[in-house]
């Protein structure tokens, strides 16, 4: 019997598998496809995900295969400026194809000992007090103590659970094609700029080697969106907007996506949990979906491990829902706003002009980018210090860097007083006595996901907070 079965080897499932293995949890990843698709829906990581990779010692690999950008335009394609003084050591977007992100996360999960079985489709499950029995398409069964559905927007796990998935259906559809073009780059850029004066949902992106990603509003909504458009359909729509199809040929990927926006009612139903697109769907504007899934996994991994390793305080696993559900609701609202701002109707276009003017103010620009990049996320840990519930940015210490101390996914007391102790929790929480000129607090207790659980200087106060996140003292 496994501890956890993760369904789906997308970025969410793979991140989760790695996080669980850090804590010795026996994890099986089931993936229905026999091979990775090689396609890349997402093309980048936002700041918080970059920080997450840094906190686990993975960032160098990502940086080696990605490209750092400091241009704006992530909020509905408005505003070209990247804000100054973003509260992070990683003030950039990391351009990296989703297929590369998945490969790196798969390698990490496998290196840490996760078993990844491809060609295995979950078709059913039943849960009882002790665990969950999963049924596969070939009629075999496999059992674990928990099941996590990371099986994407059309999640079978979510459907079988029957849990509510309220929101809006697709109202507008967009065609996507990755194609080669014959039109010279400058001519193409000029033609696109002309179309975008009226139609903000139209866009292109050079992907290198003469390949472009073309994004064009569809003519209506397809009955079955899992059927990709043909090259001719794509070219016809491009011509309808631009008067030319740029000489598009040799497609390497054709797809369509809608603006359905939905959020699952409960992230946890007994021993079954949902994460990533399985729990929330929204249009890709702003490039947040993959990031949100990775951050779901980062929140869930250590909590599930704490439960399985027997030291979880009461209710810890339920905080996965109470913390992540509002974050996703916020992202969904953000994409709803962006969808409105991308409309070609006169009213929304007037609002777009006003928002463009507002984004000239540095504070507004920064506020919106902090939301998109997820560094503004603050979990509700109650009243307290302004850092409480937020993730702490990386800071330089006298000896090294904060994030370098977090690779093992344990709690961390960063103690600038030298007077505190975590005796009784030392198997779960590291205690580092060091100082940072960048940190204006005597001591800070970080959860394994880097969020601030306590700020203070009194041992008695610390002892009140340790059990809330790390269970009862041992020894």
Q: Point out which residues bind ligand FAD (CB under 6 A).
A: 7-13, 30-33, 41-44, 98, 121-122, 150-152, 156, 176, 257, 276-277, 284, 287-291, 293
Minimal distance in Å, beta carbon 314 to ligand FAD?
29
| End-to-end C-alpha distance for the chain, whole angstroms | 30
**CA–CA separation, 219 and 241 (whole Å):** 11
Q: How far is the CB of 150 from ligand FAD (least distance, A)?
A: 5
User: Of the two residues 173 and 245, which places its CB atom closer to ligand FAD in the complex?
Assistant: 173
| Rounded Cα–Cα distance for residues 322 and 279 (Å) | 13
Radius of gyration of the chain (CA): 23
Considering the complex, what minimum distance in angstroms separates the CB of residue 284 from ligand FAD? Answer: 3
Of the pair 259, 415, the CB lying nearest ligand FAD is at 259
Closest to ligand FAD by CB, 4 vs 122, is 122
State how far Cα 397 lies from the chain centre.
28
Which is closer to ligand FAD, CB of 12 or CB of 261? 12
Least distance in angstroms from the C-beta of 257 to ligand FAD:
4
Note whether 21 and 164 are within 8 A (CB): no
CB of 173 to ligand FAD, least distance (A): 11
In angstroms, what is the minimal distance from the CB of 287 to ligand FAD? 3
Q: Which is nearer to ligand FAD, 41 or 428 (CB)?
A: 41
Q: Is the dihedral of CA 43, 49, 50, 53 positive or negative?
A: negative
Nearer to ligand FAD, 229 or 471 (CB): 229
In angstroms, what is the minimal distance from the CB of 66 to ligand FAD?
13
Contact 62, 96 (CB under 8 A): yes
Instruction: Indicate the residue among 287 and 348 with the shorter CB distance to ligand FAD.
Output: 287
Q: Which is nearer to ligand FAD, 18 or 276 (CB)?
A: 276
Smallest gap from Cβ 380 to ligand FAD, in A, equals 24
Query: Least separation, in Å, of the C-beta of 25 and ligand FAD?
Result: 19
279 or 466: whose CB is closer to ligand FAD?
A: 279
């Amino acid at each position: 019997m496994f501890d956890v079965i993760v369904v789906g080897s997308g970025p969410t499932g793979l991140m989760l598998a790695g996080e669980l293995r850090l804590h010795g949890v026996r994890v099986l990843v089931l993936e229905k496809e026999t091979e990775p698709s090689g396609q890349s829906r997402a093309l980048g990581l936002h700041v918080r995900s970059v920080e997450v990779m840094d906190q686990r010692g993975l960032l160098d690999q990502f940086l080696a295969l990605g490209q750092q950008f400091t241009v704006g335009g992530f909020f509905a394609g408005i505003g070209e400026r990247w804000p100054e003084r973003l509260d992070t050591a990683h003030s950039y977007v990391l351009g990296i194809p989703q297929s590369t992100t998945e490969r790196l996360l798969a390698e990490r999960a496998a290196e840490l000992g996760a078993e990844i079985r491809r060609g295995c489709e979950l078709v059913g499950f039943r849960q009882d007090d002790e665990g969950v029995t999963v049924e596969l398409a070939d009629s075999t069964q496999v059992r674990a103590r928990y099941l996590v559905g990371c099986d994407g927007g059309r999640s079978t796990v979510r459907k079988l659970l029957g849990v509510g998935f309220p929101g809006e259906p697709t109202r507008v559809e967009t065609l996507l094609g990755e194609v080669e073009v014959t039109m010279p780059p400058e001519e193409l850029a000029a033609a696109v700029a002309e179309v975008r004066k009226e139609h903000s949902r139209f866009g292109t992106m050079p992907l290198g080697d003469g390949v472009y990603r073309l994004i064009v509003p569809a003519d209506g909504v397809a009955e079955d969106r899992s059927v990709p458009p043909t090259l001719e359909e794509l070219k016809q729509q491009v011509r309808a907007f631009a008067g030319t199809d740029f000489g598009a040929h040799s497609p390497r990927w054709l797809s369509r996506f809608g603006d359905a926006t939905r959020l699952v009612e409960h992230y946890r139903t007994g021993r079954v949990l949902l994460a990533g697109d399985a729990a929330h769907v929204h249009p890709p504007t702003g490039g947040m979906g993959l990031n949100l899934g990775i951050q779901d996994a980062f929140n869930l991994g250590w909590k599930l491990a704490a439960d399985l390793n027997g030291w979880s305080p009461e209710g810890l696993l339920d905080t996965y829902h109470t913390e992540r559900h509002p974050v996703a609701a916020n992202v969904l609202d953000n994409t709803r706003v962006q969808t409105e701002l991308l409309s070609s109707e006169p009213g929304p276009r007037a609002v777009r002009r006003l928002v463009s003017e507002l984004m000239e103010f540095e504070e507004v620009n920064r506020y919106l980018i902090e939301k998109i990049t997820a560094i503004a996320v603050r979990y509700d840990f109650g009243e307290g210090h302004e850092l409480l519930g937020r993730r702490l940015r990386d800071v330089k210490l006298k000896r090294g860097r904060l994030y370098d101390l977090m690779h093992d996914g344990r709690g961390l007391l960063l103690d600038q007083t030298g007077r505190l102790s975590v005796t009784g929790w030392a198997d779960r929480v590291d205690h580092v006595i060091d100082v940072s000129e960048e940190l204006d607090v005597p001591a800070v207790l970080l959860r394994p996901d880097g969020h601030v659980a306590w700020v203070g200087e009194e041992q008695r106060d610390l002892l009140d907070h340790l059990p809330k996140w790390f269970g009862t003292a041992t020894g």
